[in-house]
């Protein structure tokens, strides 16, 4: 089973629909995993080794407009700048769009605006591919439900399956070879007091892509076999914390999960480290503040930047220690 097979399975005759509008646009939020996705059981279909759970970041994400162009090739703009279609990202985008041409001479214009740094460990690919799928759904009037949109987004970027929704989202790993049981689903819980702080340490593109780092970890880390058990434990703890609004349980579990993922990466060969000196300094400051009684935790994805977790009652105090921190209230309070 390949990506094209999955698209045909989901869309059927709708794959041959003509555009219903001249253009369509959609927004998708970026998401930060509290229990991480790290490792694929199927590279082609982006099927994960484990389930994962994330929180979306409000209005932080990607807005994409899609239209059909009369040009002889696709056109892609990212924050107003042309995308090099021969770059790694450009090739990945074109390959994704190929899934929806159905052997027709269709060419797309993709215009995406993001409110987050790119390729810096802030899930820019996740919100980008999710927004693209949502816009294509509108353009061709597929009228797909959220579950099928999540599967299509996953074909572009694994964690994009979680950016179809806002709030807490769980990505079920699934067991089927075709991946039709591997998709995101919303967790119907609201936590108004929960805050996420974006501590941007470096906005540059990371040296090792998540995709490459993930595979190297699986192939070479002697610790990776311990990861699924760790995730299963943490996933249960995070869901319990969300349901009971137990912030201390949420914070320590999310931080432990992230540090375990990075520890496993350090045990790969060659070792993989996304830490910068400023990253480590910020971690140590968070630990010091916690020793002083401040309920403050962090999580870190494949990049040097940290996402701080705290409650709104501590927002001013946290901001006083991290002046550049951008504070987000995922539930709009």
47-64 per-position pLDDT tens digit: 999 999 999 998 999 999
So what's the pLDDT on residue 203? 83
Is 184 a residue whose pLDDT tops 90?
yes
Is 258 a residue whose pLDDT tops 60?
yes
- The rounded distance, in Å, linking the Cα atoms of 216 and 207 is 14
Q: How many CB atoms lie within 10 A of CB 316?
A: 9
Query: pTM for the whole thing?
Result: 0.95
Sign of CA pseudo-dihedral 48, 64, 28, 118: positive
Is 72 a residue whose pLDDT tops 60?
yes
Q: How many CB atoms lie within 10 A of CB 190?
A: 14
Identify the CA nearest to 174 among candidates 45, 50, 268, 313. Answer: 50
Name the one residue in this structure whose structure tokens are 């432990």. Answer: 256
DSSP β-ladder status, 168-171 and 194-199 = unpaired
So what's the pLDDT on residue 88? 87
DSSP state letter for 178 = T
Share of the chain above pLDDT 70, in %: 98
So what's the pLDDT on residue 117? 65
- The rounded distance, in Å, linking the Cα atoms of 307 and 310 is 10
Choosing among 3.30.230.10, 3.40.50.2300, 3.40.190.10, 1.20.140.10, the CATH entry for 3-187 is 3.30.230.10
- The rounded distance, in Å, linking the Cα atoms of 128 and 146 is 16
Is the Cβ–Cβ distance between 163 and 142 less than 8 Å?
no
So what's the pLDDT on residue 206? 80
Give the tens place of pLDDT for each residue, 3-48: 999 999 999 999 999 998 899 999 999 999 999 999 999 999 999 9
Choosing among 3.30.70.890, 2.60.40.10, 3.40.50.10320, 2.60.40.3120, the CATH entry for 194-328 is 3.30.70.890
- The rounded distance, in Å, linking the Cα atoms of 2 and 133 is 18
Give the tens place of pLDDT for each residue, 83-131: 999 998 899 999 999 999 988 889 999 999 998 866 544 557 899 999 9
So what's the pLDDT on residue 205? 80
| Average pLDDT over every residue of 313-319 | 97
What residues does each domain of the chain span?
3-187, 194-328
- The rounded distance, in Å, linking the Cα atoms of 30 and 245 is 22
Q: C-alpha angle with apex 42: 91 to 299, nearest 5 degrees? A: 85
Q: C-alpha angle with apex 176: 170 to 178, nearest 5 degrees? A: 100
């Amino acid at each position: 089973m390949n990506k094209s097979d999955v698209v045909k399975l989901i869309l059927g005759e709708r794959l041959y629909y003509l555009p219903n509008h001249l253009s369509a646009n959609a927004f998708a939020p970026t998401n930060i995993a509290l229990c991480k996705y790290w490792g694929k059981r199927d590279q082609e279909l982006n099927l994960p080794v484990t389930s994962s759970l994330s929180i979306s970041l409000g209005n932080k994400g990607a807005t994409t407009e899609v239209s059909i162009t009369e040009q002889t090739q696709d056109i892609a703009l990212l924050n107003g700048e042309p995308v090099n279609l021969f770059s790694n990202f450009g090739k990945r985008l074109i390959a994704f769009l190929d899934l929806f041409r159905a052997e027709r001479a269709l060419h797309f214009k993709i215009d995406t605006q993001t409110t987050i740094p790119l390729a810096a460990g802030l899930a820019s690919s996740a919100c980008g591919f999710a927004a693209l799928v949502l816009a294509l759904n509108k353009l061709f009037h597929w009228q797909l439900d959220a579950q099928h949109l999540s599967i299509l987004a996953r074909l572009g970027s694994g964690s994009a399956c979680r950016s179809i929704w806002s709030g807490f989202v769980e990505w079920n790993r699934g067991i089927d070879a075709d991946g039709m049981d591997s998709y995101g689903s919303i967790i119907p819980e609201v936590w108004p007091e929960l805050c996420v702080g974006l501590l941007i340490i470096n906005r540059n593109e990371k040296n090792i892509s998540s995709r490459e780092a993930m595979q190297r970890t699986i192939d070479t880390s002697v610790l990776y076999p311990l990861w699924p058990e760790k995730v299963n434990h943490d996933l249960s703890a995070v869901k319990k914390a969300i349901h009971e609004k137990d912030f201390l349980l949420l914070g320590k579990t999310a931080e432990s999960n992230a540090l375990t993922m990075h520890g496993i990466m350090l045990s790969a060969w060659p070792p993989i480290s996304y830490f910068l000196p400023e990253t480590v300094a910020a971690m140590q400051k968070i630990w010091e503040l916690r020793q002083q009684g401040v309920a403050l935790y962090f999580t870190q994805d494949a990049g040097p930047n940290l996402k701080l977790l705290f409650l709104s009652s501590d927002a001013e105090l946290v901001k006083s220690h991290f002046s550049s921190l951008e504070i987000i209230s995922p539930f709009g309070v």
